[in-house]
Structure 1
Amino acid sequence: MNEAPLGLLFGILAGLILLSGFFSGSETGMMSLNRYRLRHRVKSGHRGAKRAAKLLEQPDTLISTILIGNNLVNNLAAAIATVLAIRLYGDNAVVPASILLTLVFLIFAEIIPKTVAAYKAEVVAFTVSHILLPLKSLLFPVIWLVSHVTHFFLRVIGVEKNSDEEQIGLEELRTIVDEAGHLIPRHHRGMLMNILDLERITVDDIMIPRNEVFGIDIDAETDEIIHRLRDAEFTRIPVYDRDIDNIVGILHQRDIINSVDAQGQVQREALMKSVRSPYFIPEGTPLHTQLFNFQKQKRRMGIVVDEYGVMQGVVTLEDLLEEIVGEFTSNLSTDPDDIQPQPDGSYLIDGTTTIRDINKTLKWELPTDGPKTLNGLLLEQLESFPEALAGVSIQPYQFEIKEMKGNLIQSVQARRSGKRRR
């Protein structure tokens, strides 16, 4: 090498710098690939994706291939740079030449290739896979030796290879969906997030509370039942015996037609025969579980009961689906004036309004891990039924009870101060 022309040595050194940049960029490009997008491209039949996926099936072997090539190139470049320095400037130029070579490699063989590969991971990875696959086969004996030595020392220090398939948790999936940006339309992104949140929400959060359930008493007079049915705003109506806690079934509005005789009169016995047996749901059931149960039981309405079998409310399939897609039906039972903005910036809120509805409408962060309604939340804070109108502070929110009826808070004036909870 000492007799080789200087021009040839400089040419070989330049080629080695390019090869070092190739290996550095290859490593970054292959490791930066989005694995889920890569799988999609493989299923679509993309050849470059198939090559890259084949290389990534054994990441330790891939890294060994790249590092063997990179270290070999770097050592050769260092040797040639040393020869050039000695031939041009003598022994004293070896150290300055090493520093200069380090800077050149850092810029042109590390930073620039890796930056390009990080921004254009797919383009780089699919391109370099043409070379890496045959190179992997060519270097197989060396790779086999290096891999076995490496695995031996890893076992010695207690590091075992994880054979589990790469998985992703719910929180990671939420982050992926949330950061999808324009790749997923905003409305669809919201629906996906709602589906993922079904596990966190229970039937208690969306049920129609007991005091708002519309039903008919099977023990009432026929005329009274007919009158109640005429005023019904729902397709399915709970039927109870004397007390709402004693639910005996569910009546569908269409069954009323089947109960009308030739004279146009509703036959009570025929009507009662149309009542379907009730379907009970334990309180605290997660929505994703209840959605499956509705499908399995072929039901569209369930009665939520506590551990003692006491009715807490009613949940319908429509309520559950609206948690995913948003409101899509005309819910006549929902009062549009439950939350009324006031001129002074406060809100007049009905006491039976759920905490989740308040948080959704006003973008507040009231606690949802306890009582489900504003009435329940304020009574929990007061720890008693107020004898007179009272004020409650749940930082940074202030509530002033405006009206009570018996033991039920009817309306509350609420506002949010500038302070935020810590």
Structure 2
Amino acid sequence: PLVIVGRVLLLPFRAALEKVVAFTDGFLTSISESLSVEDWRNRMDQEILWLHGGGDTNEVDEVLASIHEFGTTMVDDVMVPRGDVVGISVDATVEEARVLAKEEGFSRYPVYRDSMDNVVGVLHVLDLLHANPKDTIKGLARDPLITNATKSVERLLSEFQGSYNQLAVVADEFGGIAGIATVEDLLEELVGEIHDETDNKENPVRRVEAGVYIVEATARVDELNESLGLNLPEGEYDTLGGLVLERLERIPRIGERLQEDEVGIEVAAAEPNRIHTIRLTVRKETAKRHDG
């Protein structure tokens, strides 16, 4: 009886989920196989099994909730906001694009002309592999898919399928961009976190030498304090980059420095609109306690 009830409850959502699964079958054949994608696909298979009455009641409840939310979620809820978007100029060389891709670890980047409000294409890192390092990326950029923040993620997923794009530029009401949304962002709403084929799995903190660390600007201050034995101040910001921005009240240039108690902070990599990595130099006494 419980299985029959589960089937009845899930019936209204069956078409929506099977539509997503049909899309992902085509999506998966267009990218290289990897363990993370295979694990994700297994999860999709399990959800289809649940549609036909398999799985325990807790799992069925989770699927039911995620499918229902998927149908009512807007692009604004899942997109990467403009401030966190890493783009690349259409005039950049292939070699410059390779360096950026290595630093950032994403597989696709919006390509802009003059500013991020004028996105003219999307660059896939696989297209850089056999390109001439001295050429610009202009000829490699693919036409962007433009969408808006109030569109449903279900509708955007259909547009992804029809256009064979996997990254959409989310336009704002002023003609600029509000952010980006990817196939991965949308599917994670339904099946949980999956991994991009170039996801960076490295620790956000890299020890260079005793007392010296290169840290991602997105690293959380509280976690840095705990892991490195520091006493960096915590405020309305969450991240190390947020701390720097609050102190300087602007986006700093590479090489700019400030001091917080026993920690020297230097901007190691940045763009005009974003800090990427920060070099921390910890006072010898603190470093000895942490490094042992």
Residue of structure 2 aligned with 1:237, choices 98, 109, 114: 109
C-alpha displacement of 1:407: 7.7
Give the structure with the larger strand fraction.
Answer: 2
Partner of 2:162: 296
Equivalent residue of 1:245, what SS?
Answer: strand
Q: Deviations along 1:337-391, whole A, 9 cap, x unmatched?
A: 5585899xxx967469xxxxxxxxxxxxxxxxxxxxxx9xxxxxxxxxxxxxxxx
Partner of 1:268: 135
Matched-pair contact (CA < 8 Å) for 1:338–1:350: no
Q: 1:339 to 1:190 in 2, by over 3 A?
A: farther
Equivalent residue of 1:327, what SS?
Answer: coil
Once residues 55 and 96 of structure 2 are traced to their aligned partners in structure 1, the CA distance between those partners, rounded to angstroms, is 56
Superposed, which structure 2 residues align to 1:137-176 within 5 Å?
A: none
C-alpha displacement of 1:405: 5.7
C-alpha displacement of 1:246: 1.0
Superposed, which structure 2 residues align to 1:20-419 within 5 Å?
A: 37=4, 184-220=56-92, 224-260=96-132, 266-269=133-136, 271-329=137-195, 331-332=199-200, 337-338=219-220, 340=222, 350=237, 403=246, 406=249
C-alpha displacement of 1:320: 0.9
CA RMSD of aligned residues (A): 4.2
Partner of 2:229: none
Once residues 237 and 200 of structure 2 are traced to their aligned partners in structure 1, the CA distance between those partners, rounded to angstroms, is 16
Once residues 65 and 121 of structure 2 are traced to their aligned partners in structure 1, the CA distance between those partners, rounded to angstroms, is 35
Once residues 249 and 209 of structure 1 are traced to their aligned partners in structure 2, the CA distance between those partners, rounded to angstroms, is 18
List gaps (5 residues or longer) in structure 1: 1-32, 42-167, 171-181, 261-265, 353-374, 376-401, 411-422
Equivalent residue of 2:72, what SS?
Answer: coil
C-alpha displacement of 1:287: 1.3
C-alpha displacement of 1:215: 1.4
Matched-pair contact (CA < 8 Å) for 2:90–2:112: yes
Matched-pair contact (CA < 8 Å) for 2:221–2:238: no
Q: Deviations along 1:91-143, whole A, 9 cap, x unmatched?
A: xxxxxxxxxxxxxxxxxxxxxxxxxxxxxxxxxxxxxxxxxxxxxxxxxxxxx
Greater Cα radius of gyration, structure 1 or 2:
1
Q: 1:332 to 1:350 in 2, by over 3 A?
A: farther
C-alpha displacement of 1:199: 2.8
Matched-pair contact (CA < 8 Å) for 1:208–1:315: yes
C-alpha displacement of 1:311: 0.4
Partner of 1:161: none
C-alpha displacement of 1:186: 2.9
Once residues 250 and 157 of structure 2 are traced to their aligned partners in structure 1, the CA distance between those partners, rounded to angstroms, is 34
Once residues 73 and 221 of structure 2 are traced to their aligned partners in structure 1, the CA distance between those partners, rounded to angstroms, is 22
TM-score (norm 2): 0.50
Once residues 249 and 313 of structure 1 are traced to their aligned partners in structure 2, the CA distance between those partners, rounded to angstroms, is 14
Output the amino acid matched with 1:308: F
C-alpha displacement of 1:185: 4.8
Q: 1:339 to 1:232 in 2, by over 3 A?
A: closer
TM-score (norm 1): 0.36
Partner of 2:284: none
Q: 1:332 to 1:294 in 2, by over 3 A?
A: same
Equivalent residue of 2:118, what SS?
Answer: strand
Matched-pair contact (CA < 8 Å) for 2:147–2:171: yes
Give the structure with the larger helix fraction.
Answer: 1
Matched-pair contact (CA < 8 Å) for 1:280–1:302: yes
Matched-pair contact (CA < 8 Å) for 2:70–2:153: yes
Output the amino acid matched with 1:259: A
Aligned length: 183
Q: Deviations along 1:222-252, whole A, 9 cap, x unmatched?
A: 6544432432411111111121111110111
Matched-pair contact (CA < 8 Å) for 2:78–2:185: yes
Equivalent residue of 1:284, what SS?
Answer: coil
Equivalent residue of 1:240, what SS?
Answer: strand
Q: 1:350 to 1:207 in 2, by over 3 A?
A: farther
Q: Deviations along 1:208-228, whole A, 9 cap, x unmatched?
A: 111111111123466544432
Matched-pair contact (CA < 8 Å) for 1:278–1:303: yes
Matched-pair contact (CA < 8 Å) for 2:93–2:134: no
List gaps (5 residues or longer) in structure 2: 14-53, 205-215, 227-233, 252-274, 276-292
Once residues 4 and 99 of structure 2 are traced to their aligned partners in structure 1, the CA distance between those partners, rounded to angstroms, is 60
Q: Which has the higher contact order (CA 8 A, sep 6+)?
A: 2
Q: 1:274 to 1:323 in 2, by over 3 A?
A: same
Q: Deviations along 1:268-319, whole A, 9 cap, x unmatched?
A: 15x4222101111112111122122212222211000012321010111011
Once residues 300 and 231 of structure 1 are traced to their aligned partners in structure 2, the CA distance between those partners, rounded to angstroms, is 21
Once residues 296 and 221 of structure 1 are traced to their aligned partners in structure 2, the CA distance between those partners, rounded to angstroms, is 30
C-alpha displacement of 1:192: 2.9
Once residues 60 and 219 of structure 2 are traced to their aligned partners in structure 1, the CA distance between those partners, rounded to angstroms, is 29
